Structure 1
């Protein structure tokens, strides 16, 4: 119109540089994770994004890089860098008889269910460095069940599996582990189960004889047996809802009827499609019995 100065009408706000940078970073992380999966077989694509992002940046600082794209390039061409990144993405936090009340409840509520079985199969999914597995071996030994039990200890990380199979831990940890063992209802002297040498402690060979260590990826691999008990503790908290549902399917498929499923204290089956197929064995310790 004459006499007026035309100015363009803005119907949308200008692009926020912060939003653009965040989107760029999310794309970079997506490409990094896709590369890890396609080249090395590690699938972190459905892990919880905030946790992934934090740990990826931790590795960026460790490698003295500036961008996720730089990290991707290094990971694609340097297997050692890939292994460092994978170790960062999968934090291994475990200890002997961790959460002692769980093991005490297991003695009271699950052991009686196992006594009538001619053979027992127990799966520790995401076993990390093996402390939980050896804890269960000790418990079953004290309950007279170990000789007819096979413990399957699996993890996606080959390095931690090798450490688990060795069964050697820092000697300084034994005092703390002894306290856990006592609170878990231990029936003997904890020191009888390991040999001390300088600054390390190695568990007795009779505890290892019925443990099968194997690499298994909960994200990509399928069921490999039918189990009477499955421990999958503090693993699902790192996954998004889609991947949690997939792992719950795997656990349900792998558990025999009347089998026991044990989750971590922040995990639940309540909102899964399999919830109606379990009964709660112990709500506090997140132990469930499969009924269908």
Structure 2
């Protein structure tokens, strides 16, 4: 028990040092998740002590950039949880279609799978040309990958199954070309996407939007940071705007639970209370 308490103290000192040196704020992330990720990174970089790791990270920005890949979650796939995308496609898009122009915010976009998925469904719904999609993350490397729209070919079969289950109207192959580096998605889709650095822990609202999709991000935050993030979403959404969360995330018991009402309850799609 004492060793675990000391480990948590060392981790908090490490996170404070990272914030002061690099301005990345992981201090309000769930400690169980941070503990696991730092342990994985220490094995990868062959470091035995957190104090030694901190010393190296503060003096080596390249090492910190590599470490950042462990501190941020990069697990996703196109049309992940197809029933969620089907609900967006069939129930949210018809409402959004009543607006002359649209803005959508994908917060914590990681390597871009969800962003490109939404762009494809928006195109099929006839909405993409009047939509701006803001794709944000704190990981610069993930943003570069997301903007490239390039994914490993061996992942495409799963993406295609998800696409059809989500209500896709054509074949996913209509939207990408195969190249030596992987499957490259249509550049025409990218014209409506703005990729940008944004931290839910430290940054403010940057635009008024009609729909926020932030899935499987809040589960890595403590309650205080969850409330801050949902507060940003509430502030950015137009009246009666939509919020989509991950399957294991909820607004119940949070500071903003009364600011939203279920829209497609089973798929964690909420609507801002007017």
Check whether the contact 1:282–1:288 (CA below 8 A) recurs between aligned residues: yes
Report what 2:260 is aligned to: 278
1:210 counterpart (184, 192, 214):
192
Q: Look up the match of 2:72.
A: 90
1:51 aligns with 2:33: yes
- Counterparts of 1:84 and 1:46 in 2: how far apart (Å)? 21
> 1:72 and 2:54 equivalent?
yes
Matched residues in 2 for 1:277 and 1:23: separation? Answer: 37
Q: Distance in 2 between matches of 1:34 and 1:277?
A: 32
Task: Please tell me whether residue 61 in structure 1 is matched to residue 46 in structure 2.
Answer: no
Root mean square deviation of aligned Cα: 1.1
Matched residue, 1:149 = 131
Is the CA contact (8 Å cut-off) linking 2:106 and 2:135 kept in structure 1? Answer: yes
Single out whichever of 233-242 and 86-95 deviates more from structure 2.
Answer: 86-95
Q: Does the aligned pair in 2 maintain the 1:172–1:199 contact within 8 Å?
A: no
Q: How many residue pairs are counted as aligned between the two chains?
A: 274
- What CA distance in whole angstroms lies between the structure 1 residues aligned with 2:36 and 2:257? 32
Q: Out of 52-61 and 270-279, give the one that drifted further.
A: 270-279
Please give the per-residue CA displacement for 1:172-210, whole angstroms capped at 9, x wherever unaligned: 111111110100001012111001123511001111010
1:264 maps to what in 2? 246
Helix, strand or coil: the match of 2:121?
Answer: helix
Tell me the distance in 2 between the aligned counterparts of 1:69 and 1:34: 13
CA distance in 1, matches of 2:181, 2:210: 37
Q: Normalising by structure 1, report the TM-score.
A: 0.91
Contact 2:101/2:130 (<8 A) preserved: yes
Q: 1:273 Cα shift?
A: 2.5
Q: Give unpaired runs (5+ residues) of structure 2.
A: none
Instruction: Give the Å deviation of 1:216.
Output: 0.5
Relative to the length of structure 2, the TM-score reads 0.97
Instruction: Please give the alpha-carbon distance, in whole angstroms, between the structure 1 residues aligned to 2:4 and 2:271.
Output: 44
Note if contact 1:46-1:239 (Cα within 8 Å) is conserved in structure 2: yes
- Aligned residues of 1:258 and 1:289 also touching (Cα < 8 A): yes
Contact 1:154 1:213 in 2 (8 A): yes
Looking at structure 2, the residues matched to 277 and 140 of structure 1 have their Cα atoms a distance apart, in angstroms, of 27
Runs of 4+ displaced beyond 3 Å: none
1:46 deviates by 1.0
- Deviation, structure 1 residue 229: 0.2
Paired position in structure 2 for 1:225 = 207
- State the alpha-carbon separation in 1 of the partners of residues 220 and 104 from structure 2: 23
In the TM superposition, residue 62 of structure 1 has moved relative to its aligned partner by 1.7
- Structure 1 pair 118–248 and aligned structure 2 pair: CA distance change class (3 A): same
Match of 1:236 among 218, 228, 231: 218
**Counterpart in the other structure of 1:191:** 173
Structure with the greater alpha carbon radius of gyration = 1
